[in-house]
């Protein structure tokens, strides 16, 4: 699990004024460790391998990441260890863009003490601390995109236990880019409905499918989130200032929700619906960014 850049900024901006007095670092409240992920011995659990044919098949030359890997920083940030023998290329585009999955264990976040963030954010920070520790021992996979447009957004790492929720499908990126997600054996396509009347049926290959939000929605998301980040609060806000900021955040939340898909359906080769995943319920702006 990795804390999204938007959330780092959203937590850090109000804290900047009080950081100096409290002795906290005034930057974003996450520090990236300099130690790289360890190569793990053994393999993924048998229960996971039984669900994904792509992980059971023998590795091929195309599954090897290049020696000079532009995604190395992403893996280092997100994983404490990885299974090198189970790295797989799952999708490739005609223009040369390639997508890999890197299975491993998530890195626990280096989060600040609760006193280093505004009081209103401490409950959410405590929840992140607890979830980070829990997730650090759950097998996960990270998606590596080679040759594509850099994207700033929610972590491209998901625990295998979270695959049935398809949470990344409903995530809100800061910049446009494709999302590649795994589905278990037996799913041949994924039908994504929404926002609005938009419907896309996406083919599954090597247990993976690729979703891209329409460009118009990506631009709308970017404008909304940029407006929110640039609305830096006053150094010494009054109660009225805080209420205005909270109203602005809630308005942005409602607008951002309108850019999410409504549901996803896993389809069998026959067209039978195997699973329906509805848009997650969330009641605050912060909840949109918690992976």
For 240: left if phi > 0, alpha if psi spans -120 to 50, otherwise beta; the answer is: alpha
Check residue 25 and give its pLDDT: 54
Instruction: Report how many helices (DSSP H) and strands (DSSP E) the chain contains, helices first.
Output: 8, 12
Check residue 269 and give its pLDDT: 97
The answer to whether 214 and 198 are in contact (CB under 8 A) is yes
For 157: left if phi > 0, alpha if psi spans -120 to 50, otherwise beta; the answer is: beta
Check residue 197 and give its pLDDT: 83
Q: Which residues of the chain are under the pLDDT cut of 50? A: 1-21, 26-33, 151-155, 174-175, 283-291
CA angle 272, 274, 278 (to 5 degrees): 115
The answer to whether 6 and 46 are in contact (CB under 8 A) is no
Q: Give a three-class secondary structure readout of 192-251.
A: EECCCCCEEEEECECCEEEECCCHHHHHHHHHHHHHHHHCCCCCCCCHHHHHHHHHHHHH
pLDDT tens track for 64-78: 988 766 666 667 778
Give the residue from 109, 163, 172 showing the smallest Cα distance to 140: 163
Check residue 104 and give its pLDDT: 94
The answer to whether 182 and 161 are in contact (CB under 8 A) is no
Omega before residue 195 within 30° of 0, cis: yes
- The residue with tokens 């607890």 is 130
Check residue 19 and give its pLDDT: 43
Check residue 172 and give its pLDDT: 53
- The residue with tokens 């589905």 is 183
pLDDT tens track for 246-255: 787 777 777 7
Check residue 31 and give its pLDDT: 45
Task: Name the 3-class secondary structure at 78.
Answer: helix
Give the residue from 51, 82, 79 showing the smallest Cα distance to 182: 51
Q: Give a three-class secondary structure readout of 145-187.
A: EECCCCCCCCCCEEEHHHHHHCHHHHCCCCCCCCEEEECCCCC
Domain ranges of the chain: 5-289
Check residue 77 and give its pLDDT: 78
Check residue 70 and give its pLDDT: 61
Distance from C-alpha of 74 to C-alpha of 154, rounded to nearest angstrom: 12
- The residue with tokens 């309108």 is 258
């Amino acid at each position: 699990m990795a804390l999204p850049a938007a959330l780092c900024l959203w937590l850090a901006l109000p804290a900047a004024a009080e950081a100096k007095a409290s002795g906290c670092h005034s930057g974003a409240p996450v520090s990236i460790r300099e130690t790289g992920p360890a190569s793990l011995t053994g393999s993924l659990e048998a229960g996971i391998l039984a669900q994904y044919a792509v992980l059971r098949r023998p590795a091929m030359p195309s599954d090897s990441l290049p020696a000079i890997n532009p995604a190395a920083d992403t893996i280092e940030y997100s994983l404490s260890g990885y299974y090198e023998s189970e790295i797989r290329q799952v999708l490739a585009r005609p223009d040369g863009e390639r997508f890999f999955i890197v299975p491993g264990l998530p890195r626990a976040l280096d989060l600040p003490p609760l006193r280093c963030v505004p009081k209103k954010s401490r409950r959410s920070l405590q929840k992140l601390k607890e979830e980070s520790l829990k997730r650090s021992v759950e097998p996960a996979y990270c998606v590596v995109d080679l040759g594509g447009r850099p994207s700033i957004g929610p972590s491209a790492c998901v625990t295998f236990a979270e695959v049935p929720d398809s949470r990344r499908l409903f995530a809100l990126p800061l910049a446009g880019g494709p999302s590649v997600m795994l589905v278990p054996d037996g799913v041949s396509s994924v039908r994504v409905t929404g926002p609005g009347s938009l419907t896309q049926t996406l083919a599954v290959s090597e247990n993976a499918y690729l979703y891209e939000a329409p460009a118009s929605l990506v631009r709308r998301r970017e404008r909304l989130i940029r407006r929110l980040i640039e609305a830096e609060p006053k150094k010494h806000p009054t109660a009225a200032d805080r209420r205005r900021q909270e109203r602005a955040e809630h308005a942005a939340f409602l607008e951002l929700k309108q850019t999410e898909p409504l549901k996803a359906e896993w389809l069998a080769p026959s067209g039978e619906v195997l699973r329906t995943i509805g848009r997650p319920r969330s009641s605050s702006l912060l909840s949109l960014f918690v992976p």
